[in-house]
Chain A
Amino acid sequence: MLIMVAMSGGVDSSTVAGLLHEAGHEVIGVTLQLYNHGAAAGRKGACCAGQDIHDARRVADHLGIPHYVIDAESRFANAVIADFADSYAAGETPVPCIRCNQTVKFTDLTALAGGLGAERLATGHYVRRVEGPDGAELHRAVDKARDQSWFLFATTRAQLAAALFPLGEMPDKATVRFHAERLGLRVAAKPDSQDICFVPSRGYASLVGRLRPEAALAGEIVTLDGRALAEHRGIAHYTVGQAKGLGPASFDAGERQVVVGLDPGRRRVVVGPRSSGSREVWLREVNWLVPPPQGAIHCSFKLRAREEPQPGWVRAEGEGAVVRLDQPSLAAPGQACVFYDGDRVLGGGFISRPAAATVGRAL
């Protein structure tokens, strides 16, 4: 089978390329050039290729497979980086990796793979694609600690049909590194990537502030009933559910405070007790990986990348959905809420900013 492998230059996708090649498939490696590495590193006029692209090419050389670098800079800037900054400015906390998967990776690369005659697009994600009675299903990885299904909820059913995720079956990362070593891949011991790829080490807030200066303007930290407790350094520094960075607003009337809402219009960060979460969560841009249910279905939900799924109900509502959790939760607008039936992903959406009335008078 002709398979295109999206190679980031890291150990995971390199191992995918190696394993598929070893299994006798015809493999094409592609690496996305998402931003100018020279510019990111502060080198003027440097022509692009960073260490990761170099590593991906050398792995491809070692395997003897063709490898290409795809220019996705303008697409990434528009679909991912601009959206990232806009979301912060709108008082949300974006997940750029989901946007990237949704656009640059699965939409564009799947199309390219098809155009080049490849039957599948393989990636190094830790999820499982299971062939079910009604077509391909998306399942959590065997290694629950590495599961990335939350980041892939927006993959469409057509994209899933053409996808391949060999690492979903791996028991742990050590096994992946073992295979990388066994296949002689130079990246076998390369450290895992951390954080958001395009954010310089100074942190995301300076990037957001450059693109959307209003998100970096100081403002008030207020309580749910509208009392100002402290100053903040710009709403881009805050996420619903966050307890750090509140300074004098960390406690009110002896009770620990967390961020419960962001009001970009008045540049306010609203704090309240952790118990001020809500059961109802409204979602937009919902992607269903099962036929959209008629009425509500009971399943479990992940509102953050790293948390155990919690039970509740969901019903489709036009392009969106409404979730009713069994226990209240502080849902952060802009983050994903993904629906699971056991290990299987049923769908998911982006958490909307709540209507003004629902988070107290301060908003």
Chain B
Amino acid sequence: MIYLDANASEPLRPDALAAVHSALMQTGNPSSVHQAGRAARRILEEAREQLAFRFSARPGNLVFTSGATEANALAVHGLRASRRLLIGATEHDSIRASGSEAEIIPVDDSGVVALDSLEAMLGSGPPALVCLMLANNETGVMHPVREVAALCRSHGALLHVDAVQAAGRVPLDLSELGADSLAISSHKLGGPAGAGALLLAPAHADICPLIAGGGQERGRRGGTPAVAAIAGFAAAALAASGGEHLAPLRDSAERAAVARGAVVCGAAAPRLPNTSCVALPGVRADAQVIALDLARIAVSAGAACSSGKVGASHVLRAMGLGPLAGQAIRISLPWNADPAHVDAFGRAYAAMAERLHAALPHDGSREAIMR
């Protein structure tokens, strides 16, 4: 199998596997008083320090969670209070489902947040909590988060950044970014699934918990931490030193798709080096994903839900892509991508495009795009 779906989950990094294994061999609960507890606690706190160091946060301001969905939910829960909630139009479902009555900040046709709209929204009405992702999971498109942070500061708004896809792939520094909080996920940077973290600016270090439980994480997240997953998370984060080397491979995969009539979504915007979202006009996304899977190539379509059903993507719809929103697949190269795999993808894509174009009824969108 050729795995080109890193934005769903990165392959486990060897350093992470070693750290998980070693932590699993250590019996103990970090809350316990005895030596086994202390040993577990030491693993937990070293991981916290490593992650805080890696993303320029203070260790005391890093709260471990079960993953980024929980970290996003904790941020919205803890920072919102009586604030208005403004979220980007292309945010992940974990943000979209995190609070009621959210107002949507539009994006331009490249998928980049419309700063003038955001400014107008911030200027009219009570103080807001703004949620904006650093890089989009489906397109890799990056928002100008530093500018957004400055806008938020000048309007008395708070900013939460979902940095799940950016972490480990592009430089990420909480203090330099100017955000109030930042969510990251272990398995999106080559650690095991089951761990995530919310990094907080000093002003919000005492965030109100979603789950109080036994008061772990200094009262900010109850429940025994998943020590082994967290150890792997930290090891993966240290090993994940940027994805620039993937850009030429990504471009090569993209060229192969474009040669068959594909349109690159968000091509004009700054993007993650590993991600490409390519729409094949007139061919439904689920058929493309299935055809490539049968050719042993794993890619995905953005909007797959837990049933495995692939629907039209809200991200691509927000970018004004119309029918193409249901005709795009995402190629996301893993940290260990092999150039030969990208070549194989190009060949399989060509065969897939030819076969599906011939067999599937056309709904006119292809012609609409070509015009």
Q: Which residues of A contact B (CB under 8 A)?
A: 28, 33, 45, 47-49, 53, 57, 66, 68-71, 73, 107, 111-112, 114-117
Cβ A48 vs Cβ B291 within 8 A: no
Cβ B360 vs Cβ A71 within 8 A: no
Question: Which chain B residues border A66 with CB–CB below 8 Å?
Answer: 293-294
- Interchain nearest-CB distance for A256 vs B (Å): 49
Give the contacting residue for B309; candidates A45, A70, A117; CB below 8 A.
A70
Q: Which residues of B contact A (CB under 8 A)?
A: 97, 286-287, 290-291, 293-294, 305-311, 355-356, 358-361
Bound complex: CA A33 to CA B304 (Å): 13
Given A66-B294, A115-B287, do A49 and B359 touch, yes or no (CB 8 Å)?
Answer: no
Q: Chain A: which residue is nearest B294 at the CB level? A: A116
Give the contacting residue for A47; candidates B305, B359, B360, B361; CB below 8 A.
B305
Cβ B360 vs Cβ A48 within 8 A: no
Cβ A28 vs Cβ B307 within 8 A: no
Give the contacting residue for B308; candidates A28, A68, A112; CB below 8 A.
A68
Q: Chain A: which residue is nearest B307 at the CB level? A: A49
Q: Chain A: which residue is nearest B357 at the CB level? A: A115
Question: Which chain A residues border B308 with CB–CB below 8 Å?
Answer: 49, 57, 68-69
Question: Which chain A residues border B359 with CB–CB below 8 Å?
Answer: 111-112, 114-115
User: Across chains A and B, which 5 residue pairs bring their CB atoms closest together, nearest first?
Assistant: A49-B307, A115-B359, A114-B359, A48-B307, A69-B308
Give the contacting residue for A48; candidates B293, B294, B306; CB below 8 A.
B306
Give the contacting residue for B356; candidates A28, A48, A73, A115; CB below 8 A.
A115
Given A111-B360, A117-B355, do A47 and B291 touch, yes or no (CB 8 Å)?
Answer: no
- Interchain nearest-CB distance for A274 vs B (Å): 45
Give the contacting residue for A112; candidates B97, B287, B309; CB below 8 A.
B287
Question: Which chain B residues border A117 with CB–CB below 8 Å?
Answer: 294, 355
Q: Chain B: which residue is nearest A118 at the CB level? A: B294
Q: Chain B: which residue is nearest A49 at the CB level? A: B307
A-B contact pairs, 20 of them (CB 8 A): A28-B290, A28-B294, A45-B97, A48-B305, A49-B305, A49-B308, A49-B309, A68-B293, A69-B308, A69-B310, A70-B286, A71-B286, A71-B309, A73-B311, A111-B361, A112-B360, A115-B358, A116-B291, A116-B355, A117-B294
Cβ B307 vs Cβ A68 within 8 A: no
Mostly, the A contact residues are: mixed
Given A45-B97, A68-B286, A70-B286, do A115 and B291 touch, yes or no (CB 8 Å)?
Answer: yes
Bound complex: CA A115 to CA B308 (Å): 20
Cβ A116 vs Cβ B307 within 8 A: no
- Interchain nearest-CB distance for A16 vs B (Å): 19
Q: Chain B: which residue is nearest A26 at the CB level? A: B294
Give the contacting residue for B287; candidates A47, A49, A116; CB below 8 A.
A116
Bound complex: CA A122 to CA B282 (Å): 26
Bound complex: CA A57 to CA B360 (Å): 25
Inter-chain pairs besides A48-B307, A69-B307, A71-B310, 18 sampled, C-beta below 8 Å: A28-B290, A28-B294, A49-B308, A49-B309, A53-B307, A68-B286, A68-B290, A68-B293, A69-B308, A70-B286, A71-B309, A71-B311, A111-B360, A115-B287, A115-B355, A116-B294, A117-B294, A117-B355
Question: Which chain B residues border A33 with CB–CB below 8 Å?
Answer: 307, 309
Question: Which chain B residues border A107 with CB–CB below 8 Å?
Answer: 361
Given A45-B97, A117-B355, do A69 and B287 touch, yes or no (CB 8 Å)?
Answer: no
Cβ A47 vs Cβ B306 within 8 A: yes
Q: Chain B: which residue is nearest A116 at the CB level? A: B291
Question: Which chain B residues border A116 with CB–CB below 8 Å?
Answer: 287, 290-291, 294, 355
Question: Which chain B residues border A112 with CB–CB below 8 Å?
Answer: 287, 290, 359-360
Bound complex: CA A261 to CA B305 (Å): 46
Q: Output the residue of B306, B310, B359 with the most chain A CB within 10 A.
A: B359
Question: Which chain B residues border A115 with CB–CB below 8 Å?
Answer: 287, 291, 355-356, 358-360
Bound complex: CA A107 to CA B359 (Å): 11
Cβ A69 vs Cβ B355 within 8 A: no
Question: Which chain A residues border B306 with CB–CB below 8 Å?
Answer: 47-49
Question: Which chain A residues border B309 with CB–CB below 8 Å?
Answer: 33, 48-49, 69-71
- Interchain nearest-CB distance for A66 vs B (Å): 7
Question: Which chain B residues border A47 with CB–CB below 8 Å?
Answer: 305-307
Question: Which chain A residues border B310 with CB–CB below 8 Å?
Answer: 69, 71
Bound complex: CA A70 to CA B306 (Å): 13
Question: Which chain A residues border B286 with CB–CB below 8 Å?
Answer: 68, 70-71
Q: Chain A: which residue is nearest B303 at the CB level? A: A71
Bound complex: CA A260 to CA B183 (Å): 67
Q: Output the residue of B97, B305, B309, B355 with the most chain A CB within 10 A.
A: B309
Bound complex: CA A179 to CA B320 (Å): 51
- Interchain nearest-CB distance for B96 vs A (Å): 10
Bound complex: CA A111 to CA B356 (Å): 9
Question: Which chain B residues border A68 with CB–CB below 8 Å?
Answer: 286, 290, 293, 308
Question: Which chain A residues border B361 with CB–CB below 8 Å?
Answer: 107, 111
- Interchain nearest-CB distance for B29 vs A (Å): 34
Q: Chain A: which residue is nearest B326 at the CB level? A: A71
Bound complex: CA A325 to CA B91 (Å): 63
- Interchain nearest-CB distance for A118 vs B (Å): 9
Question: Which chain A residues border B291 with CB–CB below 8 Å?
Answer: 115-116
Question: Which chain B residues border A70 with CB–CB below 8 Å?
Answer: 286, 309
Q: Chain B: which residue is nearest A47 at the CB level? A: B305
Q: Chain B: which residue is nearest A50 at the CB level? A: B307
